[in-house]
Amino acid sequence: MASDFQRSKVVLVFGALDVTGDGYLTEEDFRLLAARWAGLRGSDDRLLSQVMLSWWTTLQAAAGGADRVTLDDVLNVVDVLPDNIEPVLGTANAMFGAVDADGDDYVSEAEYRVMVEAWLGREAATDFALLDSDGDGRLSRAEFAALWAEFWAGDNAAAAGSYVFGPVQAA
């Protein structure tokens, strides 16, 4: 069962993913999110759409194929992630490719900020230096994957990965 802290992280992202604001996640939410992200990047990026719709497919399957996914459905997915981290790492790899707009195999602070603002739908305070474990001013694919895994499967409020989308308010 998700801890209060894990629930807080999921609530933050769920609210951001619910672009239509109806209290559920639907395929439309993921399409709108991809369009918002592409708009911030100034592109019509198919990879962004593929990544977002992959998330939708995963969550929809976890909800038994329902057309609407609830917060509890997402929490049920989070509950099993510590014992099955591979899907998270696969998603992190796909996300990395979508975030790395210039294709240099690193995510810069500017690229990262676009991702967070696209997900949250607003400007967001992120402490990129906290996320950048080796202090080189960019995130490698390995750093990104570790952060992503910690955010989705971890329960340590002090871990850098807990701040992937900015500060998390306790439940």
Which CATH number goes with the domain that contains 44?
A: 1.10.238.10
Tell me if 171 is assigned to some domain: no
Tell me if 75 is assigned to some domain: yes
Q: In the structure, what pLDDT confidence band is assigned to residue 68 with cuts at 50, 70 and 90?
A: very high
**Mean pLDDT confidence for 47-57:** 81
Tell me if 38 is assigned to some domain: yes
Task: Please list the residues that pair with 33 across neighbouring strands.
Answer: none
- Structural domain of 158: 4-163
Tell me if 17 is assigned to some domain: yes
Count of the separate structural domains present in the chain: 1
Tell me if 169 is assigned to some domain: no
Task: Give the pLDDT score at 132.
Answer: 95
Tell me if 170 is assigned to some domain: no
**Mean pLDDT confidence for 20-36:** 91
**Mean pLDDT confidence for 134-148:** 95
Between residues 134 and 50, the one the model is more confident about: 134
What DSSP letter does each residue of the chain carry, written as one string?
---HHHHHHHHHHHHHH-TT-SSSB-HHHHHHHHHHHHHHHTS--HHHHHHHHHHHHHHHHHTTT-SSB-HHHHHHHHHHGGG--HHHHHHHHHHHHHH-TT-SSSEEHHHHHHHHHHHHTS-----HHHH-TT-SSEE-HHHHHHHHHHHHH---TTSGGGGTTS-----
Tell me if 109 is assigned to some domain: yes
pTM of the shown model:
0.82
Tell me if 168 is assigned to some domain: no
